[in-house]
Every structure is written in C-alpha cells, then in structure tokens.
Amino acid sequence: MTNHLGDIQHSKAIIIFGANPAVNHPVGFQHFLKAKERNGAKLIVIDPRFTRTAAKADMFIQIRGGTDIAFIYGMLNLIFKNKWEDQSFIADRTFGIEAIKEEAKKYPPSVVADICGVTEKQLMEVTKLYAHTRPGTLVWAMGLTQHSIGTGNTRIAPILQLVLGNMGRSGGGTNILRGHDNVQGATDLGCLSDSLPGYYGLSEGAFKHWAKVWQVDYEWLKSQFDPATMNKAGFTLSRWWQGVLQEEEIHNGKSGKIRGLFCLGNGLISTAQTNKVAQALNELELFVVVDPFPHDAIAYTQKSDGVYLLPAASQMETSGSVTATNRSGQWRFQVVKPLYESKPDEEILFELAKRLGFYEEFTRALGDGKGNFVWPDDATREINYGMKTIGLSGWTPERLKEHTLNWHLFDSVTLKGRGPLQDSFYGLPWPCWNEKHPGTPNLYNISIPVMQGGMGFRNNFGLEQELDGKKYNMLASQGSVPPKSSQKGGYPEITADNIEELTGKKLTAKEKEIVKGKNWKTDLSMTLVNKALEAGLCPYGNARARMYVSTWVDKIPLHREPIHTPRPDLIAKYPTYPDQPNQFRVATKFASLQKDWTKEFPLQLNTARIVTHSGQGIEARVSLALTEINPEMYCQIHPNTAGNYGVNEGDFVWIHSPEGFKAKVKVRLSYSVKENVVFAPFHWAGVMQGESLEAYYPQGYVPYSIGESINGVTNYGYDIVTQIPETKCGLCRIQKA
Ligand SMILES: Nc1nc2c(c(=O)[nH]1)N[C@H]1C(S)=C(S)[C@@H](COP(=O)(O)OP(=O)(O)OC[C@H]3O[C@@H](n4cnc5c(=O)[nH]c(N)nc54)[C@H](O)[C@@H]3O)O[C@H]1N2
Ligand SMILES: Nc1nc2c(c(=O)[nH]1)N[C@H]1C(S)=C(S)[C@@H](COP(=O)(O)OP(=O)(O)OC[C@H]3O[C@@H](n4cnc5c(=O)[nH]c(N)nc54)[C@H](O)[C@@H]3O)O[C@H]1N2
Ligand SMILES: [Mo]
C-alpha cells in the first residue's frame, strides 16, 4: 500500500479492481464504509462477480476477467480527450506520458465495451465520476495480479493514479491489500527466489552486502553455491514441480532435477496444476513439511518413506516483528509456550543448520557474535542494520514494542501518535530511515519534509532515458520537492560521490574514509543516510515515476488476451507473449498454447475466496465451527446455465480443464456470476478427480471437510515477470456427474 487503511477514510472516491475486502479484509473494510458514511466517498467496484463488496458499491461494473488494462486505457482515453488529467503533476513528476497517450487512443468506448463486456455508458460514467472526485484511491489485490498479464495490470493501475495526480496524497494512492498475516514482512525479508532480503537482487554486490551484514566471508558464501546459478533467480513456488517432472527443459545448473522439498508454512495444493504437484510429490526422494497441522499435501503423496512431518508452533506460541499490509511493523508477543512437541520455525531451522554444518555462520551476526543472542530481538536488529533499501533502519525492537504496547496513543485514521509518541506514526511504516524518523504513512508525499515522512519518487533507473530518439531527464522538475530540502528540485540517489554537492556540507576525512565507494544502500555506517536526512533529502533521491520502461517486455502496459480466452477472435489483435525458454529456471508456455479453446471449453472459470475459509484451507477445515458454516466444496453457476446443462442446486458436475484434468464439484445456483462464468473457491483439498484421498492422511488427522481442489482444473498460465499462476481466468467445460 502506498497509503494505509485508515487513510482511505480521507478518500472521496474509492475504485476497487479485483479485490473483495468485505470478505477478505473485513476489518480493514470498515474504513471503506466509514469513508462512505463520514466523507461521502463514492465506492466503485470492478469485478467479474457481484461480490459482497459490490453489494456496498455506488457503482458496480461486471467486467470480463483479464481485461482491466483495456478498461483503464478506456478511462485514460476519456480523461485525455476531456483534459481531466493533472497536467502539472504529470509534467513535474512522471516520465513517458506520450507513449501512454498514444496507446490510450486505441481504446475509445466502443472498443472497450467490446473487449471488456461492459457498456460504453458504464465506462463513461465511471470515468467521469472518478476523474471529478478527488482525492481518489485505487485498490486492488488478487483480481489484478493472478494473470499472465498480472504485471501489466499492476503497472496500468498506478498510471491512472499518476495521470489524475492522485499519488502522494492523503486519500489517494494505490492501496494493494496484502494477503497473509505478515506477507508484507515475508516479501521484504526476501522469501522470493529472485532477491536477497530487502530487494537487494542477486548480483555479486548484493551478496557482498549481505555477507558483510552476516559477518561471513563472501568467498565462503560463494562456495556454498553452484557458480552457474548463484546469481540467477531460483524456481518459484508455482513451478517447482517442473524441476522434478522435467516435462520441459529446466536450467538448474549442476543440481539438475529437484530431489527434495522442504515446505515451511505453505499448503502446496494451493498451487495451480495440482495434479502435477501430486505427481512431483510422489517422485521426490525427500519431502519435509513443517506445519502446525498435518496438512493436505501429505495425502497427495503415496510415498511410504522419505516423508517427514515436523510440528511447527503457531503464531500464538512465538514472538517477533511482523509487517502489516501498510508497511507498519508490530511486535508479536508470545501468548503461550509451544504446546506438546511443537517447536517455533526458527528452532527447527537452527537445528537444520546445525545438521547441515553452518549453524555458526547462520547465527554469527546475532548478539555478541559468539553464539549468545536474544531471539527474536537480535534478529530484528540484524534486519534494521542490513535492510537500507526500504528504510528499516529505524525499526529497533524497542520502538516496535513501544508502539504495539501503546495502541491507545495512536489515531487510527492518521496513524499519528499522541503524548509521548507524538513524533511517530503507528508501527513506523517503512521507510523509517533512522531512529529519529517517524515512519512514512503515505508514500511519495512532497508536501511535508522528509523528516516528517515526505519523499518524492525513487531514483532507481539512471538519470536519463531515451525515448523515440529524444533524451529525457529522469529527475523531478524544479519546485517539485519536499519542503526544508537543500535541493530545489529532483536529485539522484545519495552516494559518497555526490553527498557533499547535494547537501552543501563537507564530510570529515574520517567520514570520507568510511563511506568511500558506497551509496546509501550499502553504507552500513548510516553516514550517508543521516547526512542526507539532515539536509532534508530522501536517501533514494527525488525522481520521476516511470510509465514507460525501455528494458521490459512490454515497455508500456499492453492489453493481451488470456492464454485461454473466451474471445479467440481478439487473439490476432491482442496476442499473449512469446513462450519463454528460461524463466525462473523453467520453460514457460504462452503463445504456443493460445488458440481457440472455446468449442470444447465454452465457460470461464473464476476462483477466489470465501470469508469462513482461508488459503489452502487446512486451518479452517480442521475447525468444526467454521466447517459447519461452509461444510463442502462447491461451485457457483448462473441458473440459466445450470438449466441449459440440466443440473440443479445440489447436483454434482464434472469441471473439465484444457489440460485434460477434471474435478467433481457440487453446484450452487447464483446470479452473482454471468451466464458464461463458473466460480469456485480454492480452499478445499483431499479429493482428486473424484477420488477421496482420505486413506492417505496420517491416522486420525482427516480434516472435518475434504473436497476437490479447484487448482486441479485452473488452467496453465503464468505471469510474464513474476510467474504468479493465472488462477483468475481460464476456461472449462461442465458436465452433469
Ligand atoms: N476469509 C479470507 N480472507 C483472506 C484470505 C482467505 O483465504 N480467506 N486470503 C488472504 C490472502 S492470502 C489474500 S492474497 C487476500 C486476497 O484478497 P482478494 O484479492 O480480495 O481475493 P480474491 O477473493 O481471490 O479475489 C478478489 C476478486 O477478484 C475478482 N477478479 C478475478 N479476476 C478478475 C479480473 O480479471 N479483473 C477484476 N477487476 N477482478 C477480478 C474476483 O472475482 C474476486 O472477487 O485475501 C486475504 N484474506
Ligand atoms: N485457484 C486459486 N489458487 C490460489 C489463489 C486463488 O485466488 N485462486 N490464491 C493464491 C494466494 S494469494 C495464496 S497466498 C495462496 C495461499 O496458499 P497457502 O499459502 O498454501 O495457504 P495457507 O492455507 O494459508 O497455508 C499456510 C500453511 O501454513 C501453516 N502455518 C500457519 N502458521 C504457521 C507457522 O507459524 N509456521 C509454519 N511453519 N506453518 C504455519 C498453515 O497450517 C498452512 O498449512 O494460494 C494461492 N492459490
Ligand atoms: Mo495471498
């Protein structure tokens, strides 16, 4: 989130693309409702389904899944035509508007209506309302990301906000609702295969930075890796199984085929292509699950040896810092000691490191460096020492605990502290540049000084960019700068070489020695960051937001039809990407799969969440109370469609996928989906292609409810940049079971 949930109460218009907070973020959704009630905000929902969130909307548009880019270009088309854009914001703080304007011309209302399955009038009404009701905030979640064009979606949404000058403003911003508890923290910590902690990347420089933080020799670290893959992105959660099955070529250096899987806190059956996941689980030599529950994935393997289940303690039994959806930190205090033989995750990992022979290196940077450390406090200290990139240097365990223990001293709408905590915002939302910094509730706000949470856009992509033979300055224009700054306009990120010039202050000889060759991200002494802050400068610079990226597959976001599109007539004009021979170590198909599938698979498949169940579902399906409310797997079909197929409420249907898999699911009739859409939640597992796996759960541990995993029939398809699976729009065929 650029802003935070409370700040949504300052919005005058809220437009939601592909999120259902009434169901998935019900506590946070109260702020949306208060925005309506107290601030007269208009709530606009764009979703292929009439959701519970849509039920609260002033305007609901039932879009065809996977066509949001076309829809937003349609809005931009009308905005530019009517000159509703914020021209000075665009001129001062953005780059690439001409390319966006050109593309938007291709999306007049008639074209958008045809692609998106909406009316021209709806597009015109929503655009007029949203453009004239500012500040407006744009909210999204999985409805935009889980697509082969997920990255394009997440670029076009901020572009709409930039064009309307809605960025860097209270009540504006792009507010992406995160998923799991602490998923923001998990991402920041680098639980991704293409990055070290803090988004440092996988370059040699990044490894050297962390080697220094961890107090290990870089050469030792290097010796732990295969040189061919050390600096390359690893497998993703969505395609690890390909590394086992090797149906297509894999690029895994000398390790070759994946032989073992260590799964710590993931349901596995939540991944698309469940049938492939099951096959791969069976082929593994070693399969370890670290989880508070003996979860469903265990039932998907018939292996009789090499499977280990390690009981993990739950969050109530552990403590530490966690990060909320808005970048705020919190301290989690242990409620009870770990029950029975369960252990906290870190203890299990420490034991593993001991057995693998690198425990000493693993823990060297903690505490006194001699093995005496306080968990988790010293881990948080290590994080705030090393993670400069997102500004965690101000997150000491003491400050985080003080905030969590003093909720009553913070305003829930502004996050501002009161009394003794008046100089900080709740949870020190990052960037929190140093221990004096209050945290940043709203990103990119240039109306307040940097030391009060102000900042421009980040300078991460050089000082100049070429576009159509012309060179453009990537720094913000004159006057576009937070107050109390030593600079009057844009400036580059802070380095040892430019600090004196930018701040107008001299470094001492000693300071010069310390920061030599460093920039603000690699200077562990904090000299560069602190000097920049004293001069009112943001360590990462003050640049323009890029709408055009010369090095990306799509330089600007482009509408591309889903691989399995219900509109094959549009493929020629809006084709998907070329196949990728090596993306996260696996080959990934795009164009070679895109064709007319509609004769055999005439219905669209949409998957999402329901309020009583969570994620892969094990946590709710072992709860009797929650299982009673939603006892079985189901799909929703429009009554007319059900009628056409001769099925009724309560009947079972087979849902068939283009990959040749099928799932047997009970029917519920619903007008919330259009006639050509089938909706299903993804929270069930334990039945595969109609066959119960009950016998394969550890004895006595069958959940109260098992059912087909819809991921057995979600179609093949992955985002071009992140490889998130296309679980939100595929095709299927149904047949009465
Ligand atoms: N009760 C409950 N709450 C949860 C979770 C849970 O499992 N249960 N999971 C948590 C997690 S991990 C996450 S990530 C969040 C996710 O939160 P959300 O993103 O809100 O989750 P979903 O329900 O998967 O999808 C949101 C909406 O996107 C719509 N959609 C699908 N395709 C498109 C499209 O192409 N365009 C548009 N505009 N809309 C589309 C769907 O119809 C759906 O209504 O929820 C979190 N909260
Ligand atoms: N079709 C379809 N598929 C989807 C989605 C969709 O919208 N549609 N959404 C996707 C999204 S956004 C997500 S996030 C995933 C969610 O999928 P998963 O991440 O697989 O879902 P969870 O059920 O939350 O799984 C978390 C596991 O962690 C365990 N756990 C809980 N606390 C702890 C702990 O402290 N330590 C350890 N070691 N384990 C713990 C739980 O018991 C559970 O087994 O599903 C994805 N799959
Ligand atoms: Mo998620």
Q: How far is the CA of 683 from the centre of ligand 3 (A)?
A: 12
Q: What is the pLDDT of residue 370?
A: 87
Q: Is the CB of 292 under 6 A from ligand 2?
A: yes
Query: How far is CA 35 from its chain centroid?
Result: 25
Which ligand minimizes its atom distance to the CA of 266?
2
For the chain, which ranges sit under pLDDT 70? none
Closest residue by Cα to residue 616 from 114, 269, 332, 304:
269
Residue-wise pLDDT tens digits, 279-314 = 999 999 999 999 999 889 999 998 889 999 999 999
Q: Which long-range contacts (CB under 8 A, 24 or more apart) does 416-420 make?
A: 416/441
Exposed / middle / buried, residue 545 (Cβ in 10 Å: 0-12, 13-18, 19+): buried
Which ligand minimizes its atom distance to the CA of 724?
2
Candidate from 609, 618, 673, 674 with most ligand 1 atoms within 8 A of CB, to mutate = 609
| Alpha-carbon torsion (628, 634, 640, 644), positive or negative | negative
Question: What is the C-alpha separation between 538 and 532, in angstroms, rounded?
Answer: 6
The DSSP H or E segment spanning 567 is none
Q: Is the CB of 338 under 6 A from ligand 2?
A: no
Q: What is the pLDDT of residue 91?
A: 98
Residue-wise pLDDT tens digits, 43-74 = 999 999 999 999 999 999 999 999 999 999 99
- Minimum CA distance residue for ligand 1 atom 8: 614
Q: Is the CB of 344 under 6 A from ligand 1?
A: no
- Minimum CA distance residue for ligand 2 atom 32: 314
Question: What is the C-alpha separation between 210 and 232, in angstroms, rounded?
Answer: 17
Which residues, at least 6 apart from 34, have a Cβ–Cβ distance to it below 8 Å?
Answer: 9
Sequence-ordered alpha helix ranges (H) in 457-544: 499-503, 509-515, 527-534
Q: How far is the CA of 216 from the centre of ligand 3 (A)?
A: 34
- Minimum CA distance residue for ligand 1 atom 11: 179
- Output the pTM of the full model: 0.98
Q: Which long-range contacts (CB under 8 A, 24 or more apart) does 29-36 make?
A: 29/53, 31/5, 31/6, 32/8, 32/56, 34/9, 35/8, 35/9, 35/10, 35/11
Q: How far is the CA of 439 from the centre of ligand 2 (A)?
A: 30
Candidate from 24, 122, 623 with most ligand 1 atoms within 8 A of CB, to mutate = 24
Q: How far is the CA of 474 from the centre of ligand 1 (A)?
A: 35
Residue that has been written with the tokens 């390909």 in this structure: 242
Which residues, at least 6 apart from 102, have a Cβ–Cβ distance to it below 8 Å?
Answer: none
DSSP code string of 136-189: EEEEE-HHHHSSTTHHHHHHHHHHHHHHTT-TTSTT-SEEEPP-STTHHHHHHT
- What atom in ligand 1 is closest to the CA of residue 610? 1
Q: Which domains does the chain have, with CATH numbers?
A: 5-176 (3.40.228.10), 182-199+218-388 (3.40.50.740), 568-736 (2.40.40.20)
Q: Is the CB of 325 under 6 A from ligand 1?
A: no
β 286-291/307-311 pair status? parallel
Sheet containing 174-176: give its strands across.
59-61, 42-46, 13-17, 136-140, 174-176
Q: How far is the CA of 616 from the centre of ligand 2 (A)?
A: 5
Q: How far is the CA of 519 from the centre of ligand 3 (A)?
A: 34
Question: What is the C-alpha separation between 702 and 688, in angstroms, rounded?
Answer: 15
- Helix, strand, coil abundance in the chain, percent, nearest 5: 35, 15, 50
DSSP code string of 603-663: EEEEEE--TT--TTSHHHHT-HHHHHHS-S-EEEE-HHHHHHHT--TT-EEEEE-TTS-EE
Which ligand minimizes its atom distance to the CA of 728?
1
Helices 68-81, 150-163: axis angle to 10 degrees equals 20
Q: Is the CB of 347 under 6 A from ligand 2?
A: no
Q: What is the pLDDT of residue 271?
A: 95
Q: How far is the CA of 327 from the centre of ligand 3 (A)?
A: 16
Asked whether the beta carbons of 311 and 303 are under 8 A apart, the reply is no
Q: Is the CB of 186 under 6 A from ligand 1?
A: no
**Rg of the chain in Å (alpha carbons):** 26
Asked whether the beta carbons of 386 and 197 are under 8 A apart, the reply is yes
Q: How far is the CA of 608 from the centre of ligand 1 (A)?
A: 5
- What atom in ligand 1 is closest to the CA of residue 18? 39
Q: How far is the CA of 87 from the centre of ligand 1 (A)?
A: 34
Q: Is the CB of 51 under 6 A from ligand 1?
A: yes
Q: Is the CB of 312 under 6 A from ligand 2?
A: yes
CB atoms within 10 A of CB 82: 11
Q: Is the CB of 608 under 6 A from ligand 1?
A: yes
Q: Is the CB of 314 under 6 A from ligand 2?
A: yes
Candidate from 266, 339, 346 with most ligand 2 atoms within 8 A of CB, to mutate = 266
- C-alpha distances (whole Å) from 688 to each of 9, 275, 618, 679, 706 are 45, 8, 16, 18, 10
Closest residue by Cα to residue 633 from 568, 525, 712:
712
- What atom in ligand 1 is closest to the CA of residue 65? 35
The DSSP H or E segment spanning 77 is helix 68-81
Note residues around ion ligand 3 (Cβ under 5 angstroms).
Answer: 179
Virtual torsion, Cα 161, 387, 315, 619, nearest 10 deg: 50
Q: Is the CB of 267 under 6 A from ligand 2?
A: yes
Asked whether the beta carbons of 66 and 81 are under 8 A apart, the reply is no
Q: How far is the CA of 237 from the centre of ligand 3 (A)?
A: 12
Residue 512's SS3 state is: helix
Q: What is the pLDDT of residue 386?
A: 96
Q: What is the pLDDT of residue 468?
A: 87
Which ligand minimizes its atom distance to the CA of 609?
1
Token code pair at residue 480:
């576009």
Residue that has been written with the tokens 């055009």 in this structure: 548
Closest residue by Cα to residue 239 from 292, 202, 188, 276:
276
Candidate from 191, 192, 270 with most ligand 2 atoms within 8 A of CB, to mutate = 270
Look up residue 681 and give its amino acid: P
Candidate from 178, 339, 616, 732 with most ligand 2 atoms within 8 A of CB, to mutate = 616
Candidate from 1, 20, 153 with most ligand 1 atoms within 8 A of CB, to mutate = 20
